[in-house]
Amino acid sequence: MNVGVVGLGFVGLSVSCVFADKGINVHGVDIDEQKLSMINEKKSPFYEPQINQILDKVLNKSLYVNSNLEECVKNSEIVFVCVGTPSNSDGSSNLDYLKKTCKEISEFLNKIHDEKFRIIVIKSTVPPQTIESEIIPLMEKKSSNLMGTKLDICSNPEFLKEGSAIEDMSNPHLVIIGTNNEKTKKKMNHFYSKLYSNSINIMNTTIVNSELIKYTNNSFLATKISFINNIANICNKIPGADVEIIAEAIGMDPRIGKMFLKAGPGYGGSCFPKDVAGFLNFVKLRGYSMPILESTHNINEKQPFEIIKMIKNKLGDIENKTISILGLSFKKNTDDIREAVSIKIVKSLLEQNAKIKVNDPMAMDNFRKIFGEQIEYSDSIESCLSNSECCVILTEWDDFRKIQPKKFLEFMKKPIIIDARRVFDINKFKDLVDITALGHGQ
């Protein structure tokens, strides 16, 4: 089968690679020529485990990428739209790329006179009702009423995570197919059952439920994180309390589950902050309210400042103090710093005239684009620690987890450590260095 994928960001490229690796012929399209030339050199424009190896295997065999949307639409039976829907300043979703893509697809469809029934699959995250109230009418208008006979639109949100996108896409826990059309439902079920050899859960539902599932899923996960971060901040103040032990215990209750209970400096990335804001905006515009999600958002906005409080508790006045930051990406195994907590923390520390040194295995180039020469970029953990008065762990990279107390003693001016990701064994560290761990009341 021939499919198209429009938008080769982290979702689109991961989806393209996994489809192509499983034997589907994929035509990937993007408007960014620089991105396309990198992919055509078998290099992913972003860091993602396994992706370059798959590109090496499938490029120009089952995966072709270029900027020719017309050719893509012509040759594909299913076109997956994975363009970005970033946040506007009021939290609403910016649908400009999505609308532009769908409009162009409709215009190309008008020129094609074959008998194919094509499905346009919206993978981009969109607010509930967007597809039925905006995308379908737009495409109907532009494609001379092909809708239902030669064209249909379906919702198929994606649940893959950065840093494990290939693994998640290869073994999804669930595939949601949102359609109100029987023919589309049959074709999409056939596509996914064949792709995964019948071994996955497929849920068929309406378009609006499918849109709501994506927002609800991300909102619930974000709420779990803010909940445990709230508990961590309380534990900070209670001698002997430890959020890690509490999370471990409650995670054993199958009704709660152990995932997404890791306290930290707040969630970041291109999804949770955007989707929480998007859902809150959607709810507000319709005259409803969702206080629980408002709290999720507010706790997350304040969480980086809890880390700053922890730094100041130890250092007092931070003016002219040298602070090392280990970890810049919004989580490990990615070079992505979109909405990363590190940005907020470094900005605030600079405003208070601290001297900042940073190290990250993957995200330094992206960080440099924001902070330029205002901070020092260290190529190694050792040089980042050298002469520093405080070290803050902001991302849980495996390399940081392996650091032994003697390294802090050897390189730092004063071995003060703020472990905002709970990567160290506090019992092992506490007699050797001055460590404050998030959610551990000392």
Enumerate binding residues for ligand UGA (CB under 6 A).
Answer: 125, 158-162, 218, 221, 225, 260-262, 264, 267-269, 271-272, 330-331
Q: How far apart are CA 200 and CA 387, in angstroms?
A: 53
102 given a catalytic annotation: no
Count Cα atoms within 13 angstroms, Cβ side, for 336. 23
Q: How far is the CB of 232 from ligand UGA (least distance, A)?
A: 10
**Residue bearing tokens 């290869």:** 170
Q: How far is the CB of 327 from ligand UGA (least distance, A)?
A: 10
Q: How far is the CB of 220 from ligand UGA (least distance, A)?
A: 10
- Number of Cβ within 10 Å of residue 362's Cβ equals 18
Q: In the numeric block, which tokens belong to residue 395?
A: 């991302």
Q: In the numeric block, which tokens belong to residue 24?
A: 């589907």
Q: How far is the CB of 113 from ligand UGA (least distance, A)?
A: 37
> Residue 154: which of 178, 118, 170 has the closest Cα?
178
> Residue 405: which of 376, 384, 425 has the closest Cα?
425
Q: How far is the CB of 14 from ligand UGA (least distance, A)?
A: 10
Choose between 159 and 196: whose C-beta lies nearer to ligand UGA: 159
Q: What is the CA radius of gyration of the chain?
A: 24
Choose between 331 and 344: whose C-beta lies nearer to ligand UGA: 331
Which amino acid appears at position 141 of this protein? K
Choose between 30 and 162: whose C-beta lies nearer to ligand UGA: 162
Q: How far is the CB of 234 from ligand UGA (least distance, A)?
A: 17
> Residue 340: which of 364, 315, 313 has the closest Cα?
364
Extract long-range pairs of 39-44: CB within 8 Å, 24+ residues apart.
Answer: 39/8, 39/13, 39/65, 40/65, 44/13
Q: How far apart are CA 138 and CA 136, in angstroms?
A: 5
Count Cα atoms within 13 angstroms, Cβ side, for 414. 11
Q: How far is the CB of 290 from ligand UGA (least distance, A)?
A: 18
Q: How far is the CB of 296 from ligand UGA (least distance, A)?
A: 12
Q: Are 64 and 42 in contact (CB under 8 A)?
A: no
Q: How far apart are CA 302 and CA 320, in angstroms?
A: 24
Q: Is 33 exposed, middle or buried (0-12, 13-18, 19+ CB in 10 A)?
A: exposed
Catalytic residue among 271, 384, 390, 391: 271
Q: Are 18 and 29 in contact (CB under 8 A)?
A: no
Choose between 63 and 247: whose C-beta lies nearer to ligand UGA: 247
Count Cα atoms within 13 angstroms, Cβ side, for 229. 26
Q: How far apart are CA 261 and CA 232, in angstroms?
A: 10
Start-to-end CA span in the chain (Å): 60
Choose between 93 and 218: whose C-beta lies nearer to ligand UGA: 218
Choose between 178 and 268: whose C-beta lies nearer to ligand UGA: 268
Distances in Å between the Cα of 57 and the Cα atoms of 17, 63, 194, 410 are 9, 9, 21, 45
Choose between 266 and 415: whose C-beta lies nearer to ligand UGA: 266
Choose between 187 and 262: whose C-beta lies nearer to ligand UGA: 262
So which residues are the catalytic ones?
A: 271
